[in-house]
Amino acid sequence: MNDYVLRVQNLDVQYYTDAGVVYANNNISFDLKPGERLGLVGESGSGKSTMALAILRMIKPPGSIAGGQILLGDIDLTKLTEDEMRQVRANQISMVPQGAMNSLNPVMKIKDQLIDTMVDHDLGLTRAQMEQVARDSLRAVELDPRVGEMYPHELSGGMKQRACIAIAIVMAPKVIIADEPTSALDVVTQRQVMQTIGRIQKEMGSAVILIGHDMGLMAQFVDRLAVMYAGKMAELGSVEDIFTEPLHPYTQLLISSLPVLGKRGIFRGIPGITPLLRDLPPGCVFNDRCPHAMPICKEIDPAFAMHKPNHWAACHLYPDSVPGEVAGAFSGTISDGTTRS
């Protein structure tokens, strides 16, 4: 029996430009269990949203998935035709987009946008049945079914975001990707939206990938946390391990940059800037900003390996790792391609 609903193995996403190749996702590996909540954090430009688009096979030219696998159960999504992938989107994997203000069709009623998703998948339902499913989806996100008769411009920001969640869950997908679902919302509405996502996820048994910048929100919501930097995975572990004993210097600096109650006016940033993804430095991509950089960091790219039980990091500070546990090993595959028993 497959223990994972989604497995991403050695994923490479590249954009081909006149200035050179942009390595947006570089050898990314992680897994996702049914009902699990995985957080994905990192600075802007670290490749988080690109990964979400890659999972949905929505990378458009000049970008492409240059390598790796995206396994939904036993199905490799990278091998599906576009027509086959259309049946997977919304049905098995859905996305709550960043910026609900720009995600809804301004000239369609909310109800019709919910029904449009079902029509595209040819579920064999009558119009009356689809309208009932649409009403049920709106109730599930705590919106009055009468909202279905309204247009996006008649809704508040929080209501628009809930409408986007309703569209994402209307077909009860196995995986929900939420790309910064609380951006541009006030803090009270942010909390309400996250509570809605959490409740829906539990009721449906779906797994959630939450993309964002807010480490505090991640600490409250997710089970595991993945930290990305310059298109690569820097660290992956349980949210407790990441916050109590972060391994990667980048993760340590991210956590130390959080404001602390009782220390008003004291802010700590991370010196330097993220490197250009088309001109990555040799060795570790974080070496020019890292306070613990060693000569080896400028020469050799560290392996993404397990240094503690279920706690992964790509850093030369931890030369010892669990034998065989390197990037790509999440489904039982060692980096050289052999398979563990």
**Which CATH number characterizes residue 213's domain?**
3.40.50.300
pLDDT average, residue stretch 263-274: 79
Degrees, nearest 5: CA angle 327-86-119: 145
User: Do residues 147 and 128 both lie within one domain?
Assistant: yes
User: Do residues 44 and 70 both lie within one domain?
Assistant: yes
pLDDT at residue 174 in the model: 95
Residue 200 lies in a domain: no
Calculate the dihedral angle through the C-alpha atoms of 122, 125, 128, 131, rounding to the nearest 10 degrees. Answer: -50
Task: State the Cα–Cα distance between residues 247 and 38, nearest whole angstrom.
Answer: 18
Task: Please say if the pLDDT value at position 250 is more than 90.
Answer: yes
Residue 325 lies in a domain: yes
Average per-residue pLDDT in the chain?
89
pLDDT average, residue stretch 248-270: 82
Residue 69 lies in a domain: yes
SS3 142: coil
User: Do residues 57 and 185 both lie within one domain?
Assistant: yes
The pTM of this model reads 0.90
Residue 251 lies in a domain: yes
In this structure, of 184-198, 246-260, 264-278, the range with the lowest mean pLDDT score is 264-278
Number of domains in the chain: 2
Residue 198 lies in a domain: no
User: Do residues 221 and 164 both lie within one domain?
Assistant: no
Residue 197 lies in a domain: no
Q: Residue 165 is part of which domain span? A: 104-172
Task: Please say if the pLDDT value at position 336 is more than 50.
Answer: no
Residue 339 lies in a domain: no
Closest CA to 92 of 150, 29, 168: 168
User: Do residues 231 and 259 both lie within one domain?
Assistant: yes
Residue 341 lies in a domain: no
Give the percent of the chain with pLDDT over 70. Answer: 92
